[in-house]
Structure 1
Amino acid sequence: MAKARTETVLMSEMAWPEFGQKMKTNPVVFVPCGAMEQHGPHLPLSVDAMLPTDIAREVAEEVGGIVGPTLTMGYRSYTKSGGGPHFPGTINLDGATVISIVRDVIRELVRHGARKLCFIVGHYENQWFVSEGIDQAMREVGDQGVRIMRLEYWDFCTSETLAKVFPDGFPGVALEHAAVMETSLMLHYHPEMVRIDKIPDNPGAEFPPYDMYPAHAHWVPSSGALVSAKAATREKGVLMAQQYRRDIAAAVRKEFGGGKRKAKAGGKSR
């Protein structure tokens, strides 16, 4: 017997009548912004798209929102924050391309009735290009009552949580590429996709205070992880995920108002 379909907050899983009906309630529409980028030998290339989508789904469940299309490719991987483009599988978009995609997605969502949008960035290098895409779109649609929030989910990790996740000291967000934070979150959301036996334990990368073009591949540990991921655990992932869900939902309610918690749909949306 076929399993009954459960309610979803993911636009990609909705039929058009369902999406159209939900848009009549003026929900917050979340847009996860990721990348296709190497994440060491132990994590899939799509980590930067998967994690903001998971977080957006949980926050949308909290506030009665909808998760719009995930932007699965992003701005180019930098050597000192993502390992750089020399790893197989990393697909880089030009900044102008990212800006255009963000602008066009906003225009289309607004055409369908969206007036409250929240972009959740999961790829460090995307930040300013997503911001520029939002700015350009707002010049066209801002007079329609559109309001847009943009955030990087890791900024919601408080000092108290960081102290529990990194009892020996936090190396910083830029070095945390494919390391404890992302690996722990993947162990929570997608444990079947983490290659436990391949989690790297290399020392932290030491970068000079400048960049080189072409980039020096030898600056980056051969694993692709910029610092050891060995201390990652599912429990740490749960701790961070719970805080992101609670505190990002609180920020969304503060800026957009309303949004009561919905009953969680059965099972995970993937």
Structure 2
Amino acid sequence: MSNSVLISELAWTEYEKRLAGGRTPVLIPVGALEQHGPHLPLNCDTVIPTAVCVEAAKRIGALVAPPIEYGYKSQPRSGGGNHFPGTTSLDGHTLVLMTRDIIREFARHGVRKIAIVVGHTENLMFTTEACDLAIRDLKAQGITDMKIIHMGYWEFMTEATMHKVFPDGFPSWNLEHAGVMETSVMLHLRNSLVDFDQVPKHAPADFPPYDIHPVEPHRIPASGALSSGQTATAEKGKYMFDEYVESIAAALTKEFAL
């Protein structure tokens, strides 16, 4: 019998056993395949929330679904833009329908506690829509006891940690794309995938408070990073990662009454 928290590694019989009673939460990481500068891999937005989900699941007796590894189109002011090679994106309605279908399938299995853990800012409103549509669909089928917790993992950083990681000031979550936080957490989780010698040294991007369509690539740093990760360390990464896991596990324990 597998002790794994990963649904994909379980036999169906073990999976059915783990779900008996409807109390076992299922955590669904939703990431992206998106450029993260010349120093980080394309799968940062999937690696980090998946790792957070796995460690949180171990603490609270949950299971982790295979991640959704493609996300909504990268936006210039939060991800550098969809024009970079390697960035491979979904239309919004595709992500909505995929996420809605996955939620409905888990409900069919008997799951009644689901957490959507987003790792790519641009996904948030589309996964919100997916949750809303899935709940509406399930209610129409007579399933009224489903509860979905929806989150971006980075929002669980406390002010104390913020000051510790960004002693010279925090640029903003949007400008943190491929910056100190993601570089640090990837150094902690997957050091072999980080080429620290290639970390950009330029100042944070300076965008106007509006978007332009079609996108004008010359307005975006050529590196793809929206701020520098030069002050990133594996120690900072562990500090942030541990806080994400502890805080998210606590939130799920509270909301799911585990």
Query: Which interval holds the TM-score relative to the shorter structure?
Result: over 0.9
Which residue identity is paired with 2:133? Q
Distance 1:21 1:200 in 2: 49
Residue 203 of structure 1: SS of its match in structure 2? coil
Distance 2:18 2:196 in 1: 40
Equivalent residue for 1:117, pick from 97, 103, 114:
114
Residue 185 of structure 1: SS of its match in structure 2? helix
Which residue identity is paired with 1:249? A
**RMSD of Structure 2 on Structure 1 (CA):** 1.1
Residue 118 of structure 1: SS of its match in structure 2? strand
Distance 1:155 1:141 in 2: 28
What is the total number of aligned residue pairs between the two structures?
Answer: 254
Cα distance change on mapping 1:6 and 1:194 into 2, 3 Å: farther
Which residue is 1:154 aligned to?
154
Deviation at 1:85, TM superposition (A): 1.1
Which residue is 2:10 aligned to?
14
Which residue is 2:38 aligned to?
41
Which residue identity is paired with 2:231? A
Which residue is 1:177 aligned to?
177
Distance 1:126 1:56 in 2: 17
Which residue is 1:211 aligned to?
211
Which residue is 1:255 aligned to?
255
Which residue identity is paired with 1:227? S
Distance 2:229 2:179 in 1: 4
Which residue identity is paired with 2:43? S
Which residue is 1:265 aligned to?
none
Which residue is 1:268 aligned to?
none
Superposition TM-score, scaled by structure 2 size: 0.96
Which residue identity is paired with 1:155? E
Does 2:138 align with 1:141? Answer: yes
Does 2:56 align with 1:56? Answer: no
Which residue is 1:201 aligned to?
201
Distance 2:11 2:230 in 1: 42
Distance 1:256 1:89 in 2: 38
Superposition TM-score, scaled by structure 1 size: 0.92
Q: Which runs of 4+ in 1 moved over 2 A?
A: none
Equivalent residue for 1:99, pick from 96, 99, 105:
96
Deviation at 1:69, TM superposition (A): 2.1
Q: What per-residue deviation string (whole Å, max 9, x for no partner) do you get for residues 76-106 of structure 1? A: 0001100001110101211101110110000
Deviation at 1:73, TM superposition (A): 0.4
Q: What per-residue deviation string (whole Å, max 9, x for no partner) do you get for residues 129-148 of structure 1? A: 00000000001114421100
Which residue is 1:164 aligned to?
164
Q: Which runs of 5+ in 1 are unaligned?
A: 259-270
Which residue identity is paired with 2:221? P
